[in-house]
């Protein structure tokens, strides 16, 4: 009887397993599925319509760290302290479409950090954040439950963040009591107990340079 070489057997087994596991499916973003009805809210160079808010709101703001370059990218230098850049309209049900990439830091592979907010209070005492880290795509924050502040943190269903230097696409949806995070082709987090009916959207600075483009908003009736 012929005995298969153990190394060859292992290689063939791994190959069979890899071929039997389908690649992660990618679903279209809401912007791709229904391109009509979106408002372009990419900031202008004067950042009109957007406001810097310190995190936490009791802190003082640091140096100005947000600007828009000649190509229209919203750039956060990442060295002006922890804060959010808030879009200055309170919103109900909506979808916030964001495309972003981290500026690579030599020697850093996993410690990048930023976020996208939805249904925040104006000064950020109440907040719901889609976490943008290498293991991100999930929601956490300080919400309301029976009228009282409560911390929440959910796990992502899968990890879809791309490495620093590559563009990611994220959408946060708020509809009724449900908040959904969609990242790079799939819903990665759903929270169905949001008792905050209206709020603000924002993007976050948390110590790393990050670029944003194609910020769009779709309000739902």
pLDDT tens by residue, 133-149:
999 999 999 999 989 99
Structure confidence at residue 109 (pLDDT)? 81
Gap between the Cα atoms of 162 and 170, Å rounded:
11
Structure confidence at residue 18 (pLDDT)? 41
Model confidence at 10: pLDDT above 50: no
Alpha carbon of 94 to those of 10, 64, 177, 199: distances in Å?
A: 50, 29, 12, 10
Neighbours of 217 (CB within 10 A): 17
50 pLDDT band, cuts 50/70/90, is: very high
Which stretch of 110-114, 181-185, 187-191, 204-208 has the lowest confidence by average pLDDT?
110-114
Structure confidence at residue 25 (pLDDT)? 67
Model confidence at 112: pLDDT above 90: yes
* Average predicted confidence (pLDDT) for the chain: 90
The SS3 of residue 219 is strand
Which distant-in-sequence residues (6+ apart) come within 8 Å of 133 by Cβ?
A: 110, 111, 112, 113, 161
Structure confidence at residue 7 (pLDDT)? 45
Mean pLDDT, residues 113-125 taken together: 98
Model confidence at 17: pLDDT above 80: no
Model confidence at 104: pLDDT above 70: yes
Question: What's the pTM?
Answer: 0.88
Which stretch of 10-14, 17-21, 155-159 has the lowest confidence by average pLDDT?
17-21
Model confidence at 98: pLDDT above 60: yes
The CATH superfamily assigned to 27-219 is Exo-inulinase; domain 1 (2.60.120.560)
Domain residue limits, the chain:
27-219
Contact 118/186 with Cβ under 8 angstroms? no
Nearest Cα neighbor of 147 from 194, 195, 180 is 195
């Amino acid at each position: 009887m012929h005995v298969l070489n153990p190394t060859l057997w292992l290689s063939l087994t791994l190959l069979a397993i890899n071929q039997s596991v389908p690649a992660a499916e990618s679903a279209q973003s809401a912007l791709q599925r229904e391109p009509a009805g979106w408002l372009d809210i990419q900031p202008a160079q004067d950042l009109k319509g957007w406001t810097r808010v310190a995190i936490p709101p009791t802190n003082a703001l640091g140096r100005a760290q947000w600007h828009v370059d000649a190509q229209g990218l919203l750039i956060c230098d990442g060295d002006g302290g922890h804060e959010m850049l808030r879009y200055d309209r309170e919103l109900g049900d909506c979808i916030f479409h964001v495309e972003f990439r981290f500026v690579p830091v030599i020697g850093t592979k996993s410690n990048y950090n930023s976020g996208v907010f939805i249904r925040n209070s104006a000064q950020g005492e109440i907040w719901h954040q889609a976490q943008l880290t290498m293991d991100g795509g999930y929601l956490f924050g300080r919400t309301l439950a029976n009228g009282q502040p409560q911390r929440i943190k959910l796990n992502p269903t899968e990890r879809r963040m791309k490495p620093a230097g590559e563009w990611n696409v994220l959408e946060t949806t708020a509809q009724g009591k449900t908040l959904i995070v969609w990242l790079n082709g799939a819903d990665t987090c759903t929270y169905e107990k949001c008792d905050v009916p209206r709020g603000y959207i924002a993007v976050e600075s948390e110590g790393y340079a990050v670029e944003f483009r194609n910020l769009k908003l779709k309000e739902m009736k």
